[in-house]
Amino acid sequence: MTSNAENIAVVKKNPKLTLLPLIALIFYDVSGGPFGIEDSVKAGGGPLLSLLGFFIFPFIWSVPEALVTAELATSFPKNGGYVLWISAAFGPFWGFQEGFWKWFSGVMDNALYPVLFLDYLKHSLPVFNRLAARIPALLGLTMSLTYLNYRGLHIVGFSAVFLAVFSLFPFVVMGVLSIPRISPRQWFVVDLKKVDWRGYFNSMFWNLNYWDKASTLAGEVENPSKTFPKALFGAVILVVSSYLIPLLAGTGALGGNYGEWSDGYFAEVGLLIGGLWIKWWIQAAAAMSNLGLFEAEMSGDAFQLLGMSEMGMLPAIFASRSKYGTPTISILFSATGVIFLSWMNFQEILEFLNFLYSIGMLLEFAAFIKLRIKKPDLHRPYKVPFQTFGAIMLCIPPSLLLVLVMCLASLRTFLVSGAVIILGLFLYPVLVLVKDKNLMRFYPEEPALPANICLESHSVVSQQHQEVADEASISLLSNLTAKAEEESSEIRLEEVLKVE
């Protein structure tokens, strides 16, 4: 088992993430392209609600979450991300719960991508509708992608840049080809009787969340205080554009039966607009996009476990790194979770992970506000340009959306998510007991607040001491001056008397 010092040495040998790879990773944490948004057209009863959703929801949800992430990730630029934020605001117990919920929802999210990959392929290769072919394909795909993640985060980052370009380019071509056929009135079609509100909000929410995921590997980013805000801003523009352009092109050029819009349908849209070659290109892009989605999510989940281990919340083995600087045990642990959850269907996974993610995000918004109130001197390299009242107002719309998504969940989702929450509540004291009994090795607990807050407090105290000292010096100088003047007056009086 490697020591913490050895882990640090390994990290120094491996290059840090720069701006462009970080934008690509955030893009894949959140989106990965328009693959999977087809359900929003069907659930929305036509294009109108889908288009409005992807235009309005980013202002209600994506921008506030990205701003909160930018402030807190630059204030706590270490691996672990939101676990550090919650621990600083509410203590290690709730920090652990946050980490457990978000890790579990992240693993569930990652289980979607091999499923989506095969959903796209089955349109051209029906053999993947059979379990005999589907199960080995899921296992092989998961293992192959896990190995790539093991080879190094910088490789994952630059691979994500290439994958993003390759995955989005066919939709640019499709958008250009669709222009002569577009009828704007088809964008306004909606049948409110066919709207599936639960499916619609779940689709919107899933396709626009996870802006905070990249914070879990903040310790691997070069100059995070400047890189993170720029990367989040660039990723917001990229994500929204990657949704709206294909939807405007597909729904505006085709119209017709919107009930056919489901996972993988963009391949058929490409066929109808540009021909067979566009269909195959989109399917290849979907496959590559799912690879990027898997890699970004796996990186976030694994480095979150590494950060929790370095904080003393998990056994030290979760912080052990390979020669490539990647957390080997944490990657394997996350990959195992993906394999066990891959048997579930798309909608089931979507509801479960959205529910757990919503609880975690409510806690993050609460931590953001509490740290603003209780820790005003916390060093914030990037600060959301609002005072406390404005910060609270910023968090209200996305919080209401989170509550709405949770209220729309099915009974089965409540039961499964409730079981996960109860498991987390019991798991924390078990790990504390294991640590107290020295049954496994843990790193010493690190303070949740970064060192700069302590340094700032120290500098404030030192400044106060200096001010007191200065006041004392001024007072002493005044007394000495007064005494000297008094003595001088007495001497002059004596001289006058002598003359007289």
| pLDDT tens-place string over residues 367-402 | 999 999 999 999 999 999 889 899 999 999 999 989
CA separation for the pair 285, 269 (Å, rounded): 14
Residues 336 and 389 in one domain: yes
Confidence of residue 328 (pLDDT cuts 50, 70, 90): confident
Residues 114 and 226 in one domain: yes
User: By three-state DSSP, how is residue 314 classified?
Assistant: coil
Q: How does pLDDT run across 392-451, given as a tens digit for each residue?
A: 999 999 999 899 888 888 888 899 889 999 999 999 999 999 999 999 999 887 666 655
Residues 26 and 172 in one domain: yes
Q: How does pLDDT run across 12-55, given as a tens digit for each residue?
A: 456 788 899 999 989 998 988 898 788 899 999 999 999 999 99
Residues 155 and 62 in one domain: yes
Report whether pLDDT(452) > 80: no
Residues 123 and 72 in one domain: yes
Structure tokens at 472: 């004392």
Q: What is the pLDDT of residue 447?
A: 64
CA separation for the pair 54, 351 (Å, rounded): 19
Q: What is the pLDDT of residue 181?
A: 92
Residues 52 and 173 in one domain: yes
Number of structural domains found in the chain: 2
Question: Taking a C-beta distance cutoff of 8 angstroms, is the pair 300, 218 a contact?
Answer: no
Among 68-77, 173-182, 234-243, 350-359, where is mean pLDDT lowest?
Answer: 350-359
Residues 462 and 378 in one domain: no
Higher pLDDT, 166 or 450: 166
Residues 471 and 387 in one domain: no
Residues 105 and 247 in one domain: yes
CA separation for the pair 333, 228 (Å, rounded): 27
Mean pLDDT of 132-158: 77
Higher pLDDT, 10 or 60: 60
To the nearest 10°, report the CA torsion of 413, 419, 423, 426: 130
Residues 59 and 185 in one domain: yes
* Average pLDDT score over the chain: 81
User: By three-state DSSP, how is residue 425 classified?
Assistant: helix
Residues 397 and 260 in one domain: yes
Q: What is the pLDDT of residue 497?
A: 37
Confidence of residue 454 (pLDDT cuts 50, 70, 90): very low
CA separation for the pair 142, 151 (Å, rounded): 15
Residue 235, judged by CB atoms within 10 A of its CB (0-12, 13-18, 19+), counts as buried
Q: What is the pLDDT of residue 488?
A: 45
Q: How does pLDDT run across 183-230, given as a tens digit for each residue?
A: 999 999 999 988 998 888 888 888 888 898 888 888 888 888 889 899
User: By three-state DSSP, how is residue 327 classified?
Assistant: strand
CA separation for the pair 250, 245 (Å, rounded): 9
Report whether pLDDT(291) > 60: yes
Phi, psi for residue 221 in degrees, rounded to 5: -100, 135
The listed range with the strongest mean pLDDT (198-202, 269-273, 323-327) is 269-273
State which of 426, 445, 464 marks the end of a domain.
445
**pTM for the whole thing?**
0.79
Please name the residues in contact with 12: beta carbons below 8 A apart, sequence gap of 6 or more.
none
Among 7-21, 77-91, 131-145, 245-259, where is mean pLDDT lowest?
Answer: 7-21
Which domain, by its residues, includes 54? 4-445
The DSSP symbol for 62 reads I
CATH of residue 190's domain is 1.20.1740.10
Report whether pLDDT(453) > 50: no
Residues 258 and 285 in one domain: yes
Mean pLDDT of 159-186: 91
Q: What is the pLDDT of residue 86?
A: 95
